[in-house]
């Protein structure tokens, strides 16, 4: 089996990575950073987001595993002291693979060009200088609202526990092929009106966010940030692609929610 690792830049993660390489060498796994079948991230959820970003062009061939150093994560839910269990499972090929939905983010520019990105957590749209974002939001070509506020966040189910949660969005089980739109500080008064609630949309819907004013816009896709000066609109939908995680033991989503946000009893 070919594997690669993506490691957070701290000494604990580096030490775990060394140990893991030794153990994987013993079971004849070959390190291959160009065409891995397993990608192991060692660090936090942010590290796994980096690993996803690095290997997003080969998602159908790769399964991700997250080992956390520091605190428990959502993607990084394996603990360093469980390395032997992890290696045993990999050695005997007892790996279940679970699919999580992703978000496709299509960017359209005033010069007619287009770009497309994949998000594991979410995409956000806001102005570059912090001025009010004014965006016409439509759902499946039907005008929905003229949004005014700091920004908009469109998240995946597995990203619902990240930024989306801070914005008052719902936690969505990753077995739903869905996306969620949440508002970032919308302006609501007698003149301006937005729905004021998170929306959860199914896989066959798409959201179009057209920019009303010319200007500079900031788009985030997970840990990546982009600045654009000719952005015309963004469209978001549940992606055709999904991401595969190697499940080496069962840790149900709601248990992870409990452990992360209520009390970690493990
Ligand atoms: P970061 O500042 O380290 O991330 C913020 C926190 O979100 C960290 O505790 C991170 O865990 C955690 N996180 C990431 N993905 C998660 C998930 N799916 N479920 C639950 N928690 C999650 O930055 P980062 O590590 O580069 O992560 C980027 C993410 O940060 C973005 O995708 C966005 O979701 C989130 N974020 C949140 C806010 C907010 O809540 N106000 C603002 C900006 C960005 P680790 O410490 O394990 O990395
Ligand atoms: Mn982080």
Residue 266 has a pLDDT of: 53
Structure confidence by residue, pLDDT tens digits, 185-234: 999 999 999 999 999 999 999 999 999 999 999 999 999 999 999 999 99
Residue whose CA lies nearest to ligand 1 atom number 31: 222
Catalytic-residue membership of 45: yes
**How far is the CA of 116 from the CAs of 103, 165, 172, 255, in angstroms?**
10, 25, 24, 34
Centre of ligand 2 to C-alpha 201, Å, is 27
pLDDT of residue 78: 86
Atom 9 of ligand 1, nearest CA residue: 45
Ligand 1 centre from 202 Cα, in Å?
A: 24
- Can you name the CATH fold of 2-95+248-261? Rossmann fold (3.40.50)
Query: What is the overall mean pLDDT for the chain?
Result: 96
Tell me the H-state helices in the chain.
11-26, 45-55, 83-91, 163-166, 253-261
| pLDDT tier for residue 87 given thresholds of 50, 70 and 90 | very high
Which residues are CB-neighbours of 10 under 8 A, at least 6 positions away?
43, 69
**What CATH code would you report for 102-240?**
2.60.200.30
| Separation of alpha carbons 214 and 243, rounded Å | 35
Read off the pLDDT of residues 249-259 as tens digits, 9 standing for 90 and up. 778 999 999 99
More confident residue, 95 or 239: 239
Average the pLDDT over each of 20-34, 92-106, 111-125, 159-173 and give the range with the smallest value: 92-106
Where in the chain do CATH 3.40.50.10330 domains reside? 2-95+248-261
Binding-site annotation, residues for NAD(+): 45-46, 50, 121-122, 148, 150, 161-166, 185, 224
Q: Where in the chain is the domain with CATH 2.60.200.30?
A: 102-240
d(CA 6, ligand 2 centre) in Å: 14
172-186 per-position pLDDT tens digit: 999 999 999 999 999
Instruction: With cut-offs at 50, 70 and 90, classify the pLDDT of residue 14.
Output: very high
Average pLDDT over residues 33-38: 97
pLDDT confidence of residue 178: 98
* Cα(92)–Cα(234) distance, integer angstroms: 45
């Amino acid at each position: 089996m070919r594997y690669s690792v993506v490691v957070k830049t701290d000494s604990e993660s580096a030490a775990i990575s060394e140990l893991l390489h030794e153990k994987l060498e013993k079971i004849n796994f070959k390190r291959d950073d160009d065409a891995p079948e397993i990608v192991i991230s060692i660090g936090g959820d942010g590290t796994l987001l980096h690993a996803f970003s690095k290997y997003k062009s080969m998602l159908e061939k790769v399964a991700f595993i997250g080992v956390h150093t520091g605190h428990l994560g959502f993607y990084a839910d394996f603990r360093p002291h469980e390395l032997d269990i992890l290696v045993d499972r990999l050695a005997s090929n007892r790996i279940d693979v679970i699919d999580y939905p992703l978000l496709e983010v299509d960017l359209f520019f005033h010069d007619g060009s287009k770009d497309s990105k994949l998000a594991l957590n979410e995409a956000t749209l806001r102005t570059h200088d912090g001025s009010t974002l004014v965006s016409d939001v439509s759902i499946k070509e039907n005008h929905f609202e003229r949004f005014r506020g700091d920004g908009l966040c469109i998240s995946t189910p597995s990203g619902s526990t990240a930024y989306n949660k801070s914005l008052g969005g719902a936690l969505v089980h990753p077995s739903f092929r869905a996306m969620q739109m949440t508002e970032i500080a919308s302006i609501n008064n007698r003149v301006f009106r937005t729905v004021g609630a998170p929306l959860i949309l199914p896989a066959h819907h798409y959201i179009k966010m057209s920019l009303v004013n010319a200007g500079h816009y900031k788009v985030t896709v997970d840990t990546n940030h982009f600045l654009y000066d000719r952005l015309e609109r963004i469209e978001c939908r549940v992606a055709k692609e999904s991401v595969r995680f190697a499940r080496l033991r069962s840790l149900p989503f709601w248990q992870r929610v409990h452990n992360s946000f209520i009390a970690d009893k493990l």
